Amino acid sequence: MFLHAFPLHAGMWAPQAALSAQARVLTVDAPGRGRSHAVPPSASLEARVDQIAALLDAEQIPKVVLAGLSMGGYTALAFCRRHAERLLGLLLADTRAEADTDEGRAGRMAMIQTAEREGIDAIANAMLPKLLGETTRRTRPDLVEQVRALIRDVPVPAIVSDLLCMAARPDSTALLPTIAVPTLVIVGEEDVPTPPAVARAMADTIPGASLAIIPHAGHLSNLEQQERFNQVVSDFLYGLAEAS
Binding site for ligand MLT (CB under 6 A): 5-6, 70-71, 166, 193, 219
Least distance in Å: CB of 193 to ligand MLT? 5
Least distance in Å: CB of 133 to ligand MLT? 13
Query: Beta strand pairing status for 2-3 and 64-69?
Result: parallel
Least distance in Å: CB of 20 to ligand MLT? 24
Position closest to ligand MLT via CB: 70
Least distance in Å: CB of 7 to ligand MLT? 8
Least distance in Å: CB of 74 to ligand MLT? 7
* Strands of the sheet with 87-93, listed across from one edge: 27-28, 2-3, 64-69, 87-93, 183-188, 210-214
- Is the CB of 69 or the CB of 206 nearer to ligand MLT? 69
* Alpha-carbon distance values, 30 to 7, 81, 130 (Å): 10, 18, 20
- Is the CB of 6 or the CB of 236 nearer to ligand MLT? 6
CA 42, CA 160: separation in Å to the nearest integer? 10
Least distance in Å: CB of 6 to ligand MLT? 3
- Is the CB of 76 or the CB of 209 nearer to ligand MLT? 76
3-state secondary structure of 212: strand
- Is the CB of 89 or the CB of 218 nearer to ligand MLT? 218
3-state secondary structure labels for all residues of 116-159: HHHCHHHHHHHHHHHHCCHHHHHHCHHHHHHHHHHHHCCCHHHH
CA 10, CA 26: separation in Å to the nearest integer? 9
CA 132, CA 75: separation in Å to the nearest integer? 21
Least distance in Å: CB of 60 to ligand MLT? 29
* Tally of CA atoms within 13 A in the half-sphere of 210 that contains its CB: 11
- Is the CB of 79 or the CB of 237 nearer to ligand MLT? 79
* Alpha-carbon distance values, 42 to 38, 62, 141, 153 (Å): 12, 24, 34, 19
- Is the CB of 45 or the CB of 233 nearer to ligand MLT? 45
Beta bridge mates, 101: none
- Is the CB of 219 or the CB of 228 nearer to ligand MLT? 219
